[in-house]
Structure 1
Amino acid sequence: MQAIVDFFAFRTFVSLDVLRVVYALGAIGMPMLAWAFWLWLDRFALWRSMRGVSASAVRRVVPKRWRVISVLLFLLCFFCM
C-alpha cells in the first residue's frame, strides 16, 4: 500500500526538485506560449476577420446578461481553483 501512495505522491519515480521545476515551467511557460501563439495568429488577416465575425455572432445570439454571467462564472471558478 505504501508503494502506491509513494507513486501517486511522486516520491518514487520523480524527485521533488524535478517536480517543482516542471510545475514552474508549466505554470509560467504555458501562459507565455499561449500569448505568443495568439500574437503569431494575429498576424494573419483571415484569423482577424474570423475573430471579428465570431465575436459579432456571439453578440447577436447570446444576450448580454448571459455573457456577463458566463464571465463571472469563469472568474469565480478561476479564483476558487
Structure 2
Amino acid sequence: MRNTNRWLLAALLAALLVGATWYCVSVWQAAPSMPLYGNIILGAAAILVLVSGCGLIALIFYSRRKGYDEPARSNRTQRQ
C-alpha cells in the first residue's frame, strides 16, 4: 500500500511538471522577442543573483566552521 501511494504521488508530480513545462513553453513562444539590451540586463541580473547566493551560502559554511553559530555561554557562576 505504501509503495502504491509513492508511485501515485510521483505520477501526479510528474504530470504537474509536464503541464507546467508545456504552459511555460507555449507562453514563451507566444511572447514577442526581447531586445538585445533586455537580454544583457537579464543575464547580468542572473549572474549577480547567482554570485550573491553562492556568497551567502559560503558565509553560512564559514561561520559554522569557525563556531560563530554556537549558542552563547558564560563561565561565570550564577548568583544566589
Q: TM-score range by the shorter chain?
A: 0.3 to 0.5
**TM-score, with length taken from structure 1:** 0.37
Highest RCO, 1 vs 2 (Cα 8 Å, sep ≥ 6): 1
Q: Counting helix residues as a fraction of each chain, which structure ranks higher?
A: 1
TM-score normalised to the size of structure 2?
A: 0.37
